[in-house]
Amino acid sequence: MRTDAARLWVEACSLISKELPEKDYETWILELNPASFEDDTLTLEAPFGLFRDRVRQAFLPAIERAVSVAADRRCRVAVVVGSFGGTRPTGREKPRPTGERSVRTTAGLTNKKTFENFIVGESNRLAWLGAQQLADGKVHAGNPLFLYGGVGLGKTHLLLAIQNRLKKRGRRVLYYQGEEFTRKMVEALRLDRMEQFRNEFKVADALLIDDVQFIAGKKRTQQEFYHAFNFLHGAGKPIALASDRGPGDLEALEYGLQSRFQGGLLADVASLDDDLRVRILKAKAQEAGLGLADILIERIAVRLQGSVRDIEGLVLRLRAATTHQGADLDERLIETLIAPYVASSAPITLDKVIDTVAWVYGITRAELLSRDRSRRVAWPRHVAAYLCRKLTNSSLPEIGEVLGGRNHTSVLRAVRSVADRVSGDAAFASRLREIEGMLGHVPDPRM
Ligand code: ADP
Ligand code: MG
pLDDT at 445: 32
Lowest mean pLDDT among 174-178, 391-395, 430-434: 430-434
Looking at the structure, do residues 16 and 36 belong to the same domain, yes or no?
A: yes
Average pLDDT rounded to a whole number, residues 72-86: 75
Looking at the structure, do residues 73 and 127 belong to the same domain, yes or no?
A: no
Looking at the structure, do residues 128 and 261 belong to the same domain, yes or no?
A: yes
Bigger pLDDT: 442 vs 26: 26
**Is position 376 within any domain?**
yes
At 8, which CATH number? 3.30.300.180
Nearest-atom index, ligand 1, CA of 107:
14
**Is position 220 within any domain?**
yes
Average pLDDT rounded to a whole number, residues 17-32: 82
Q: What is the mean pLDDT of the chain?
A: 83
Q: Are strands 33-38 and 41-46 parallel, antiparallel or unpaired?
A: antiparallel
Residue type, 417: S
End of a domain among 105, 131, 150?
105
Q: Each residue of 93-107: pLDDT tens digit?
A: 343 433 333 333 344
Contact between residue 126 and residue 269 where contact means Cβ atoms under 8 Å apart: no
End of a domain among 60, 80, 105?
105
Q: How many domains are there within the chain?
A: 4
Looking at the structure, do residues 71 and 23 belong to the same domain, yes or no?
A: yes
152 lines ligand 1 (CB under 6 A): yes
Looking at the structure, do residues 293 and 317 belong to the same domain, yes or no?
A: yes
Average pLDDT rounded to a whole number, residues 265-276: 92
**Is position 237 within any domain?**
yes
Nearest-atom index, ligand 1, CA of 308:
12
pLDDT at 24: 81
106 lines ligand 1 (CB under 6 A): yes
340 lines ligand 1 (CB under 6 A): no
Q: How far apart are CA 354 and CA 385, in angstroms?
A: 9
Looking at the structure, do residues 94 and 196 belong to the same domain, yes or no?
A: no
Q: Each residue of 396-428: pLDDT tens digit?
A: 999 999 999 999 999 999 999 999 999 888 888
104 lines ligand 1 (CB under 6 A): no
Looking at the structure, do residues 55 and 82 belong to the same domain, yes or no?
A: yes
pLDDT at 343: 63
Looking at the structure, do residues 306 and 424 belong to the same domain, yes or no?
A: no
Looking at the structure, do residues 33 and 170 belong to the same domain, yes or no?
A: no
Model confidence at 60: pLDDT above 90: yes
Looking at the structure, do residues 260 and 300 belong to the same domain, yes or no?
A: no
pLDDT at 67: 93
Looking at the structure, do residues 134 and 249 belong to the same domain, yes or no?
A: yes
Model confidence at 11: pLDDT above 60: yes
pLDDT at 63: 95
At 139, which CATH number? 3.40.50.300
**Is position 445 within any domain?**
no
Range of the domain at 361: 350-438
Model confidence at 330: pLDDT above 70: yes
Q: How far apart are CA 158 and CA 172, in angstroms?
A: 17
Q: How far apart are CA 357 and CA 364, in angstroms?
A: 9
**Is position 447 within any domain?**
no
**Is position 323 within any domain?**
yes
Average pLDDT rounded to a whole number, residues 209-233: 88
Model confidence at 312: pLDDT above 70: yes
Model confidence at 117: pLDDT above 80: yes
- Considering just the CA atoms, what is the radius of gyration of the chain in Å? 26
Q: Each residue of 128-173: pLDDT tens digit?
A: 999 999 999 887 778 999 999 988 899 999 999 999 999 999 999 9
